[in-house]
Amino acid sequence: MAASEPLGVVVFFPAGGRFSSRLWALLVCLVAAGMGRAPVRALPFYAGAARRRMSGLVGRDYPSCVDGEGPGQQSVWDRIAVIYGLAGPQQFSEFARRLVSLVPLGTAAPVLDLACGAGALAAAAASAVPAVNVVAVDLSVEMLRRAASGLRRRGVRHAVAAMNAQSLGFADRTFGAVLCGSALDSFPDPGQALAEAHRVLRPGGVLGLWVAPGWWWQGDPRWTWHDDLLVSLGVDVGRVPVGFDGPVSLHQMICAAGFGSVHVRAEEMDLCFLNADEWWGWAWSHGFRQVMEQLAADQLAVYQRTAFQRIQPGGIDGRMQALVATAVCREH
């Protein structure tokens, strides 16, 4: 197979669905064999807390889904997939580009894009190293479809699979690099996800990640009105998760997972919204959608009307603050 040809697409479907989980396991193993790398331990996509072992193919239990939500139920990430990262400022592509510039990528071992979303990091990796082999995983099947479609158009050798970042269905020492963009802070147990990333990395392999644990308006005087508006509507946007309040705490978390040569730095990206319509489309196109979906119809109308009055007619600027980290996998 030519390096420019797509490697293929594999998505894990619910057990008991149209295709047997064993068939999908064999297909993923074939994908791994096509890469010429260590076999992938393919696992079925089970609902809730179900566990099962597949004799001869799997050596680990694989709990799929989080918070008891079965894969047959559409998540906010499935609903958002078609527009994810396509409206307004392109923060996912920009921070992906910055991160990839810091991570040495090669073709000796595949690259894992963890919680890949629409595939911004996988695409950035392929732009930096056109012959790279990419495996992208996410819990959202709709996001995987978006990612796979984009990688296929670019001619990237790739495979995608529905997996829980905290219990990856891959053999030890499979990947040369693990990338994760705008996701680690949303995992129920980020430390476990980092431990899994360390497990599937080859010794000397590189971890690269970025997170934006705070909302874009927080701490920005240009958006004080927005914070007040949400409070008046009774919206609780939560707090920055433990371990993500600054470079030092994230550094400690990554070190605790077994990584060495850890470097974490704070970065910013300017946001420019030409008008309220552009901001409104952007706000629905990423994780903030979860906040707006909490609002009743009358509350959402008040929120939109007040925000438009504040932003129109000259638009508004903002910023996105992120932590960007790299690390090296020590000997297992």
Res. 13: pLDDT tops 70: no
The token pair at 13 is 């479907």
- Helix (H, G, I), strand (E, B), or coil: what is residue 36? coil
Domain holding 173, by residue range, is: 21-218+220-229+238-270+318-329
Q: Is residue 281 part of a domain?
A: no
pLDDT 10s digits, 95-144: 999 999 999 998 889 999 999 999 999 999 999 999 999 999 999 999 99
Q: DSSP code of 14? A: B
Confidence of residue 207 (pLDDT cuts 50, 70, 90): very high
Of 130 and 5, the one with more pLDDT: 130
For residue 288, which phi and psi values (nearest 5 degrees)?
Answer: -65, -15
Res. 256: pLDDT tops 50: yes
Of 241, 271, 251, the C-alpha closest to 324 is 251
pLDDT value at residue 126: 95
d(CA 291, CA 304): 13
176, 150 contact by CB (below 8 A)? no
Q: DSSP code of 45? A: B
210, 322 contact by CB (below 8 A)? yes
Q: DSSP code of 263? A: E
Confidence of residue 242 (pLDDT cuts 50, 70, 90): confident
* pTM as predicted: 0.81
Q: Is residue 45 part of a domain?
A: yes
pLDDT value at residue 192: 96
Query: In the Cβ-directed half-sphere of 94, how many Cα atoms lie within 13 Å?
Result: 16
The total of structural domains in the chain comes to 1
pLDDT value at residue 267: 97
Q: Is residue 286 part of a domain?
A: no
Of 48 and 313, the one with more pLDDT: 313
Of 176, 117, 121, the C-alpha closest to 141 is 117
Q: How many CB atoms lie within 10 A of CB 36?
A: 9
pLDDT value at residue 75: 86
Res. 148: pLDDT tops 90: yes
Q: DSSP code of 303? A: H
| Across 302-329, average pLDDT | 94
CATH number of the domain enclosing 100: 3.40.50.150
Q: How many CB atoms lie within 10 A of CB 242?
A: 11
- Helix (H, G, I), strand (E, B), or coil: what is residue 276? helix
Q: Is residue 14 part of a domain?
A: no
Cis peptide before 104 (omega within 30 of 0): no
Q: Is residue 283 part of a domain?
A: no
Please report where in the chains the tokens 């970042």 appear, as a residue.
165
18 exposed, middle or buried (CB, 10 Å; 0-12, 13-18, 19+)?
exposed
pLDDT value at residue 41: 34
d(CA 47, CA 66): 9
Q: Which of 5-19, 233-247, 258-272, 286-300 is least confident?
A: 5-19
Q: Is residue 310 part of a domain?
A: no
| Across 234-243, average pLDDT | 85
Q: Is residue 279 part of a domain?
A: no
For residue 161, which phi and psi values (nearest 5 degrees)?
Answer: -155, 145
Q: Is residue 119 part of a domain?
A: yes
pLDDT value at residue 73: 64
